[in-house]
Chains A and B, each alone.
Chain A
């Protein structure tokens, strides 16, 4: 090869490398997050698309055909859907509410100047460290009507006169389920809010003290506004989790008595693995996704704007 041609080749190679270097410099941020975006796209968006696609098909063993929105129509026409949705809203709503209230209370207590704060923090975190299914089984034994510790204690203290069938009772089964879920979520909310409390500048509290503000005024005008950011994070996570979690209900009540504690998320599982209606189950999944998105957007709208202020 002639020397001129060799130089020309080297120049072309260099310009390619230079071009690449220039691109990376200009779009440094994009280059850094590109691998993550590929993973996110692959692991999240593609399955979502596939589920949505599946929801447009009648897919049961031996049958597979395109039915457009027929699955969605069937879902909305099914009275069980509305009943289980109501159960889910009840379950998720009350669990989130109790998680928030007790989480805030515990966070406020832990934020005080107490002896051995780490010791108490460990105890507060303990329910969160227990796998939800294990916790559900512990409470299932506790509430067993024949040998459960719950009935035993209440009988000994004279609070009840005869053992109560807690998990077979239409009055108590759902509250117990809500209680167990809240018990597991409270530590998470506590830790998030505690971090938020510790980020509030002490000067503000000192200024309030000087101005003679009462404890409730301080709490309402200083603490709560500053907690809205962490609160948004905590409530979004807690609500989304309790909306779609199946393990606690399945281990504790199985949806019973009858179907009084049946939740929408569990019904999605049953549609797929018991009734083998994969397209119908996918449609239910899409509806659940839409609901969770609406909930998150709602939280973000109501809480974030105030945070920004």
Chain B
């Protein structure tokens, strides 16, 4: 009798749970992200809203009010180092009433955490922080929502073409750009004046080497180098570095993204231009000895650290370090320029002074709930606007992706080395392809061996290209 009672209770409870799930499921089905997106007028006065001094949300956005407790967003690294993002977060909350919960993830762990979450189809974090090397893979995997509803041809024209292209895949937009990380040449004005006889930076690859030879100094005569002429980083702990160095070498030879990718979208790194780019790095270390072998172990932070300790006269590094350098070193002592053009080095073309730009996007987690996605869409709309982009530039020296930001007087005044920074956005090139992270790893593995003198540059890139082909045709 007791057994029958227990059995009946279990059955009844089970029925209740099933009923409850059914009701919830039915209710959930009625509300979809697409339905909610259709209720908001994203396109109305789109350009006006994005270019206004103060961003306003689109008409109809109020349907998300009170529907979610907080909008959860990944941030790569501590908020202490992202004051502009914090400011933008506060503005967003002020204008929409939506509180933001930041999930702080150390920079190297950002992508693994996001990949883990998305492969588990978890929607806990509706706003995905996209790094340039992985963005296409996220789009292809269907992990993020297409966001064409946020864009129009007129709004795309507010940003450089390279920036818009890297936020899209097969004609669809998947992300919104919120800052750019470009490469620049950073140099010590005082050392250039003393040992080279000019404060003007080198304009060609040959000049880099000529300057670097004069700037590689043994100050105390003990036979050991105290200041290196030229620093770059290709260390495996920051695997993107090697890809960046090769790409910079390609762009300063005048190549563009279309020249590097074949008809299948696979990057070709065993071309004469790529070999020349790698050979330049090899020669800096092996032939001219103006760069230490340790460059093959450095991340960007290491080269920055060495420059700060006055162990290097020139270095390649990201534009974001200007924010740090200006606090630690007087501006009279250092300067920045675009990466010098090839200038015919090694039989190469004349090329152009250029840079490599990495575009960082936010995207919407495809597995989040509909209202969370809508709130995420509002955030994506906000971060690309003039106000948010200007804050990135002025508060943190993070390069703004929106071109008109550079016409603002406050930006002109507060941006360190404004002219160069503006130019990096205008002339910067970017290449995006899927399996970006795998290719970074392949290039580091083989190209560092060439830089260390263990194999010729051509052989290293041949091996790398063979492995890249396997990566794509797995």
Judge whether B224 and A258 touch: CB under 8 Å.
Answer: no
> Which residues does chain B contribute within 8 Å of A262, judged by CB atoms?
445
Q: Number of contacts between A and B (CB, 8 Å)?
A: 109
Cβ of A155 within 8 Å of any chain B Cβ, yes or no, is yes
Partner of A257, one of B137, B140, B296, B471: B296
B85-126, CB < 8 A from A = 111-112, 115, 119
Judge whether B115 and A250 touch: CB under 8 Å.
Answer: no
Residue in A163, A167, A250, A270 with the greatest tally of chain B CB atoms within 10 Å: A167
Distance of A60 Cα from B472 Cα, bound (Å): 11
Distance of A165 Cα from B96 Cα, bound (Å): 54
Interface string of A237-257 (1 = CB under 8 A from B): 000000000000011011111
Judge whether B294 and A276 touch: CB under 8 Å.
Answer: no
> Which residues does chain A contribute within 8 Å of B352, judged by CB atoms?
none
> Which residues does chain A contribute within 8 Å of B474, judged by CB atoms?
60, 275, 277
B139 closest partner in A (C-beta)? A61
Q: Using a Cβ–Cβ cut-off of 8 Å, how many residues does chain B contribute to the interface with A?
A: 43
Judge whether B452 and A168 touch: CB under 8 Å.
Answer: yes
Least CB distance from A308 to B in Å reads 44
B471 closest partner in A (C-beta)? A275
Partner of A253, one of B3, B143, B228, B297: B297
Cβ of A295 within 8 Å of any chain B Cβ, yes or no, is no
Residue in A9, A147, A278 with the greatest tally of chain B CB atoms within 10 Å: A147
Least CB distance from A62 to B in Å reads 5
Least CB distance from A241 to B in Å reads 21
Partner of B297, one of A257, A273, A275, A276: A257
> Which residues does chain B contribute within 8 Å of A170, judged by CB atoms?
452, 454
Least CB distance from B291 to A in Å reads 11
Distance of A173 Cα from B123 Cα, bound (Å): 42
Question: Main SS of chain B's interface residues?
Answer: helix
Interface string of B296-307 (1 = CB under 8 A from A): 110000100010
Interface string of A4-16 (1 = CB under 8 A from B): 0000010011001
Cβ of A144 within 8 Å of any chain B Cβ, yes or no, is yes
Distance of A273 Cα from B115 Cα, bound (Å): 7
Distance of A147 Cα from B3 Cα, bound (Å): 77
Least CB distance from A117 to B in Å reads 39
Least CB distance from A50 to B in Å reads 11
Distance of A210 Cα from B437 Cα, bound (Å): 69
> Which residues does chain A contribute within 8 Å of B137, judged by CB atoms?
61, 276
A250 closest partner in B (C-beta)? B237
A72-118, CB < 8 A from B = none
Partner of B142, one of A13, A62, A254: A62
Cβ of B456 within 8 Å of any chain A Cβ, yes or no, is no
Cβ of A138 within 8 Å of any chain B Cβ, yes or no, is no
Cβ of B236 within 8 Å of any chain A Cβ, yes or no, is yes
Least CB distance from B220 to A in Å reads 12
Partner of A274, one of B1, B297, B438: B438
Least CB distance from A181 to B in Å reads 17
Partner of A276, one of B2, B293, B435, B449: B435
> Which residues does chain B contribute within 8 Å of A277, judged by CB atoms?
474
A119-172, CB < 8 A from B = 144-147, 155, 161-163, 165, 167-168, 170
Can you name 29 A-B residue pairings with CB atoms under 8 Å?
A12-B1, A61-B142, A145-B293, A145-B294, A145-B297, A146-B311, A147-B309, A147-B311, A162-B224, A165-B293, A165-B297, A168-B294, A168-B297, A170-B454, A251-B237, A253-B297, A254-B297, A256-B444, A257-B297, A257-B452, A258-B445, A259-B445, A270-B441, A272-B115, A273-B111, A274-B438, A275-B441, A276-B141, A278-B119
Q: Which 10 A-B pairs have the closest CB atoms?
A: A61-B141, A254-B236, A145-B294, A254-B237, A165-B293, A256-B236, A274-B437, A258-B449, A275-B438, A273-B112
